[in-house]
A and B are shown apart, each in its own frame.
Chain A
Amino acid sequence: MNQQPPKSSARLDLTKGKTSIADKIMPVLLFLCASVSVLTTIGIVYTLLSETISFFRIVPIQEFFGSLKWSPLINPKSFGIWPLLSGTMLITIIAIIVAVPIGLASAIYLSEYASRRVRKIVKPILEVLAGVPTIVYGYFALTFITPIVRSIFPDTGVFNALSAGIVVGIMIIPMISSLSEDAMSAVPDSLRNGAYALGATRFEVATKIVVPAALSGIIASFVLAFSRAIGETMIVTVAAGSTPNLTANPLESIQTMTAYIVQVSMGDIPHGSVEYGTIFAVGMTLFVITLVLNMLAQYVSKRFREEY
């Protein structure tokens, strides 16, 4: 049997060195900061909900979802949400058609093809584009895009869904390309090399390896951009008109939910009136749509998540 070796004389000082006051205060402080946004959300939902409920005490919900006409300010009054909803949908669909292919293509270009130098120049430009005030985009639509649209389709009105939709699309391109590029750049090079070594071309690596691997991030960028398009206000107020119009024709003047809210908020509607209530009913509809979209996004991005 071996003898027990003598104990080492080394000592570790493991007592607390620093004052722990900061350690106690910081979590509280951080919690308060986090609470601000939670409380704001609760406040928004509460206001929306209570005003919406009192609105539906006067206007039956069957009317809101059943009628196809929206004219809450002019007699005979009618409170059918569909014209506003279709206006928002039309703008959003046009914006998606513009932004998804261009945004994704630029993301693929930036992440898979561009040299580091090009990327360094282009990315900041894209981010500047994302920071342009939307009112500027609105006048860009009205004074630049609309004349072009009208020269192609002479019957088009000065205010039309197409110009506004195109420019909303342009506005959300940087969001899609920048966030998708981040997601694609995060895909490790070892995966790309694995595919190259099997004889894949650059395009095949981009579309069959990188995009699928980054899909959850890409979808998240889409949904964020869609929410942005749905909620976009200034561009549509300036360029799409203020005619609630149940139509799928992009050359007509329409009104979106957001543009309606702006229009009514700026008029002198008495507090507590039915007209005043419409703001909240429409706002609530917008809120629910965005919420559903976000939940859908989380579900989809979870389903498509590829671990690497």
Chain B
Amino acid sequence: MSTTTEAPQVKETTKTVDFKTIIDIKDMDLYYGTYHALKKVNLTIPEKAVTAFIGPSGCGKSTLLRTLNRMNDMIPNTRIEGLVDIAGTDIYSNEVDVETLRKKVGMVFQQANPFPKSIYDNVAYGPRLHGIKNKAQLDEIVEQSLKQAALWNEVKDFLKRSAFSLSGGQQQRLCIARALAVNPEILLMDEATSALDPISTLKIEELTQELKNKYTIVMVTHNMHQAARISDQTVFFLNGEVVEFDQTDKLFSNPSDKRTEDYITGRFG
């Protein structure tokens, strides 16, 4: 096949914004046993913006995302070298409390994974975990979080219902609300819309545009158009390496690496 798809359209507003760096990764290597999954990654991620990870399957996007809240710690035989600095702290240093880190760096998964509890208890789970017992305070947090996740109006009359009574898209927004309820700085989303229908996807895309006023968002997506539509910075991965990262409009309109260009124009294997 010789046809190539057109590079995705980039929205205009992202161009001139000036961001501060919140995540700084330097010479980071990650091994699963003997498998070298991430190779000498150097990357900065801007604060209060949306950063998208793109690249073919198996290139290490999820792996890098999981290093940011140390979910890789749970995978046996994982070894990590180099520096991952979040807001001035080396998150792999010994003083770091992993639970506090995960509170600050929330995560939303590809498959919505609400707990088998009520809608209310799902959102209140994190705050309760971190010691909030006051009913009025919890009510307030639940309401705020559901509002931020654009779910409040749909569920406010039956908060006591099981989370499983919600649709897939609502469940995913519930998971976003649950993550927001512990008041994170950063929100990681691993293909959070890939299991959803177009309308739910659109809702969550719009949501990210709201949320980036308050939070730093790092998302993995298989959909380049989505990356182009909603991200401010895009990172292109290939075989465990970060090939290129740049402002989204620049990366899509004028990539500096040939491999990036091949990938975004669809000329890739």
Contact = CB atoms under 8 A, between A and B. Distances in A.
A292 B254 CA distance: 75
Contact of B113 (A190, A199, A200, A306): A190
A13 interface: no
Given A115-B76, A193-B109, A307-B164, A198 B125 contact: yes
A195 B99 CA distance: 10
A201 B99 contact: yes
B74 A196 contact: yes
A124 interface: no
Contact of A197 (B102, B114, B162): B102
Interface in A283-308: 306-308
B130 interface: yes
A199 B115 contact: no
Interface string A177-204: 0000000000010110111111111001
A201 B106 CA distance: 15
A135 B44 CA distance: 69
A306 B178 CA distance: 19
Interface in B141-164: 162, 164
A58 B103 CA distance: 72
Interface residues of B, number: 28
Contact of A198 (B114, B117, B178): B178
A120 interface: no
B113 A194 contact: yes
B175 interface: yes
A188 B109 CA distance: 14
Interface in B68-110: 69, 71, 74, 76, 99-103, 106-107, 109
A197 B179 contact: yes
B193 to A, nearest CB: 17
Nearest to B107: A197
Interface of A: 115, 188, 190-191, 193-201, 204, 208-209, 212-213, 306-308
Interface of B: 69, 71, 74, 76, 99-103, 106-107, 109, 111, 113-117, 125-126, 129-130, 162, 164, 175, 178-179, 182
24 contacts: A191-B115, A191-B116, A193-B71, A193-B74, A194-B115, A194-B178, A197-B69, A197-B71, A197-B102, A197-B109, A197-B179, A198-B103, A198-B182, A199-B99, A199-B101, A199-B102, A199-B103, A199-B182, A200-B99, A201-B99, A212-B116, A212-B117, A307-B116, A308-B116
